[in-house]
A and B are shown apart, each in its own frame.
Chain A
């Protein structure tokens, strides 16, 4: 790559890598909680400014003519070592922010689709989205207190998942549980990567 010009930073640039993982699922399923459980940075969500919603991109329009919308976009970071990070992005739930998903999903290693067994159908859109784009994903069933402990095969059938898509039970408030979800996802996503190279 063309970094020859930047003297001392060159080798660092070549090896610095941030890996993106998405956390998707319906409203209230535990996305923000999951990111917060594992992230090492506190500013969990940033008010994202979307000024050209539905009106195309127009960089020359003045401030006063912009449509200003904010959306809470969760993101969290896990530092593996200097120059290697995992970033978790919670996908905005509302339909009108679908276009943000495309940007978030581009180049992502994979996605966690969080599911609440009491409202399973709310993760259909996320499952469809990742299936259509060939983005590796797993389904993590957030076991809310009092929720029936679902049998993964029931969830698989209800969501119409292929036999290979991992389904894991988790508690998004529990660090070990979230670590387990992420290691499962990384392993699943990377497996496909190696076999194709």
Chain B
């Protein structure tokens, strides 16, 4: 699976049509992806696209999508950008940490860490 063999990389670039960057507005590695439509009847989507749509019926961070698909983050982001453009997923906008973490979440994180 790893190593300098260029074969897998070429296959991966095939997935994105050679693109290295997602289209549209930039999004973070931990932005939350949510499926809006399962794209029934869309024959043009690849297996990987469909896997994303299934996975993100539950909101899921970009990095986790990559882990599930076993694809590099940048490749995953290109696929996600495509799905967003097609209106099949939403990807949340980056928000400053100060706006996302309140005292309740902070407590939850601390307690969660202690429980590990």
Contacts and interface: CB of A to CB of B under 8 A. Distances in A.
Interface of A: 1, 3, 5-6, 9, 12-13, 16-20, 38, 41, 43, 46-52, 57, 59, 61-63, 66, 68, 70, 73, 75, 77-81, 83-87, 89, 103-104, 106-109, 175, 179, 182-183, 186-187, 189-190, 193-194, 196-197
Interface string B1-26: 01000100110111000111101000
A179 B98 contact: no
B41 interface: no
Contacts of B34: 3, 6, 9, 12-13, 16
Interface of B: 2, 6, 9-10, 12-14, 18-21, 23, 28-32, 34-36, 57-59, 61, 63-64, 66-67, 70-75, 90, 92-98, 100-101, 103, 105-106, 108-110, 112-114, 116
A78 B101 CA distance: 16
B61 A85 contact: yes
A107 B96 contact: yes
Contact of A197 (B13, B19, B28, B98): B98
B114 A183 contact: yes
Contacts of A63: 10, 13-14, 18
Given A6-B34, A109-B97, 4 more contacts: A6-B90, A19-B30, A49-B75, A103-B29
B93 A1 contact: yes
Contact of A87 (B58, B61, B74, B116): B61
A73 to B, nearest CB: 7
6 contacts: A13-B90, A18-B63, A19-B109, A20-B29, A49-B74, A51-B13
By Cβ-Cβ distance, the 7 closest A-B pairs, closest first, are A80-B112, A18-B30, A51-B20, A16-B59, A18-B61, A63-B18, A16-B32
Contacts of B106: 186, 190, 194
